[in-house]
Amino acid sequence: MDPHAATPYRPPKYVMLSGNNDQGGLRPPPYRRNIPRYDNKKSSSSRCLKCICCCYCCLIIITVLFFALTFFLYNLYKPQFPSYKVNSFDVHAFDIQSDMSLSTEFAVSVIADNPNQHIGLAYGDDSQINVYYSDSKLCSGKLPSFYQPRKNITMMNIVLKGNSPFGSGLQEALMENRHTGRIPLLVRVKVPVNVVLGQFPLRGVTVYVNCSLVINNLSPNKKVEILSAKYTYVVNFNAY
C-alpha cells in the first residue's frame, strides 16, 4: 500500500454543538425532528363519555329495581278497587216555591265495599256529592270523613239539600218522566282517599264516581224504587 494515499474521512465520535451561529459547529442532520406533544383533549372526552355511560347505567338499574319492587308489592298485596252502590233513595222534599224555584231534600244511602286484605282507605273531608236532573243540579251534600279498614263494608247515610231554578222546560220533562214512571237522575261523587298499606299511609288519590240512576217517582214521603243503576269510576293521583 502507498503510505501517501489519502485515508477516508471518518466523523469524530464526539462533537460539540454550540448555541450561537458559529459556522464551525456541526448542524443537526436534516432528518432530525422534535418529539410530538399530545394534549389531553382525547382523554378528557373519554372521561366524559364514561361518566355519561355510568349515569345511564345507574338510571336503568334504578328503573328496573322500581318496576321489580312495584311488581313484587302488587303480587304480594293484590290491590282491588273498592266498589260503591246507592242502596236507597228517599225524597223528603220536592216543592215548587212561589218564585218558581225548586226546593229539594233527598236522603241517600251509599254502600262502600273495601275488598282488600291488606289495604285500608281513609276518606278525607273535601268531598262532594251532587244530584242532577236533565243537566240541572237539584241538590248537593258531602260524604262523612272516616277510615275504612280492610275487608270492610260501610253504609253511609247522606242528606242532600238544594234550591234550583225550575223553568218550564224542566217542568215539562219531569211531567213526562213521571207519567212513564222512569225518572233519570245523575249522582256525581268526588272524594279524596288516602291509601293505607298496613300501617303506612301512601299517596292520596281523588275518586270520581258517576251513578246514572233511574227511579220510579220523586213524590215526598213515598217509597222510591231504584229501577236501574250504572256506575263509572275515575281515579286521579294527587300531586305532592
DSSP 67-136: HHHHHHHHHHH-----EEEEEEEEEEEEEE-TTSEEEEEEEEEEEEEE--SSEEEEE-S--EEEEEETTE
Residues 78-100, mean pLDDT to the nearest whole number:
89
Distance CA 165, CA 102 (A): 6
Q: Which residues of 99-124 are buried (b: 16+ CB within 10 A; e: fewer)?
A: eeebbbbbebebebebebeebbbebe
CATH, range 83-237: 2.60.40
Beta carbons within 10 angstroms of residue 199's beta carbon? 6
pLDDT at 46: 75
Encode pLDDT of 113-154 as tens digits.
Answer: 999 998 999 999 999 999 999 889 999 999 999 999 999 999
pLDDT at 238: 75
Encode pLDDT of 1-23 as tens digits.
Answer: 555 555 565 665 555 555 555 55
Predicted structure pTM score: 0.69
Residues 27-53, mean pLDDT to the nearest whole number:
64
Residue 170 or residue 147, greater confidence: 147
Residues 183-207, mean pLDDT to the nearest whole number:
90
* Domain-wise residue ranges, the chain: 83-237
Lowest average pLDDT, out of 6-15, 175-184, 228-237, goes to 6-15
